[in-house]
Amino acid sequence: MAEKKVIQLEDRIPKLKEQRRQKTNRRIIFYLTIFFILIMAVVYFESPLSNVKTIDISGNEYVDSPEIEKQSGVTTKSKIWDIDEKAVASKIKEIPMIKSADIESHFPSKVTIKVTEYKRVAFIQEDNHYLPVLSSGKVMEKVSGTALPYSAPVIKKVEKGKTLTLLTRQLLKIEPATYNAISEIVFSPTTMNSDGIQLYMSDGNQVIVTISSLAEKMNKYYSSIAAAEKGKKGIIDLTLGATWKPFESPDKGEGNEKS
């Protein structure tokens, strides 16, 4: 009986040795794998392989992409893993024309920048230049040339500051079709209306209204009055109710339209 036990034990010893050897091999393979992964990670993070290769900018209409890229501070020498998305967005929003910015890093080497710009709601004319007025109320640097970059109302005789900001807010509330018909805005206060303005419309009509009631009155009355007097040119007074009267003469009408 004792002899059988000795034989069985001798048979099991090789198997135990093999199991231990396999277990040791698995451990070695595991540690080697971890080691090589760490080595590869270090090589990737510290080598040009982790550099940003593509910067994709979208949403910009007025601000040039190179300006946004420069302001972001992200370059082809930046590491993709080291991009602080919130910090980059904050830098880009320092551009006065930019309302918001969304930054995303994409492995292995791409950064996307999506911006939202303030709308240009009007222009202030100074000599032969036009100063864009943003939806924030801020007036930008001049746009060179004698022609407007695109269709937008031109504001005259208005001081930059609170009054202009209030006017800008009102313009944003006007329905698009009516807003697009406004070609010129002239600040013309009276003793009764300190915020009085005159609008010169693309259809030849002239509108007298106040800044404080601009959006409400224009949305409520202008299109219906213009349709009722289609083909005629005159003055629409929206300061007290809503009235229309024709210009006194063709010559005077043309003069009002162009002033």
Question: Do 170 and 104 reside in the same domain of the chain?
Answer: no
DSSP annotation of 239? S
Tokens of 136: 């924030």
Question: Do 226 and 193 reside in the same domain of the chain?
Answer: yes
pLDDT at position 30 is 82
Report which of 152, 120, 156 is spatially closest to residue 139, judged by C-alpha positions: 120
Q: Which domain holds residue 110?
A: 51-117
Is position 39 within any domain?
Answer: no
- CA–CA gap between residue 200 and residue 256 (Å, rounded): 8
Instruction: Kindly report, residue by residue over 150-189, the tens digit of the pLDDT.
Output: 678 999 887 778 889 999 999 999 999 999 999 999 999 8
Question: Do 232 and 141 reside in the same domain of the chain?
Answer: yes
Number of domains in the chain: 2
pLDDT at position 253 is 44
Highest mean pLDDT among 4-8, 66-70, 227-231, 244-248: 66-70
Q: What is the pTM of this model?
A: 0.69
Is position 37 within any domain?
Answer: no
- Whether the pLDDT of residue 255 is over 50: the answer is no
CATH of the domain at 225: 3.40.50.10960
pLDDT at position 218 is 95
Q: How many helices (H) and strands (E) does the chain have?
A: 8, 11
Q: How many residues are present in the chain?
A: 259
Question: Do 126 and 92 reside in the same domain of the chain?
Answer: no
**Between residues 48 and 52, the one the model is more confident about:** 52
Question: Do 96 and 221 reside in the same domain of the chain?
Answer: no
Question: Do 106 and 204 reside in the same domain of the chain?
Answer: no
Q: Are strands 154-156 and 120-126 parallel, antiparallel or unpaired?
A: parallel
Question: Do 145 and 241 reside in the same domain of the chain?
Answer: yes
Question: Do 63 and 128 reside in the same domain of the chain?
Answer: no
Tokens of 149: 């970059």
Question: Do 152 and 173 reside in the same domain of the chain?
Answer: yes
- Determine what percent of the chain is predicted with pLDDT higher than 70: 85
Question: Do 134 and 84 reside in the same domain of the chain?
Answer: no
Which range, of 175-184, 185-194, 250-259, averages the lowest pLDDT?
A: 250-259
Is position 126 within any domain?
Answer: yes
Question: Do 58 and 105 reside in the same domain of the chain?
Answer: yes
Instruction: Kindly report, residue by residue over 10-35, the tens digit of the pLDDT.
Output: 566 666 666 677 777 778 888 888 88
Phi, psi of 207 (to 5 degrees): -120, 130
Is position 38 within any domain?
Answer: no
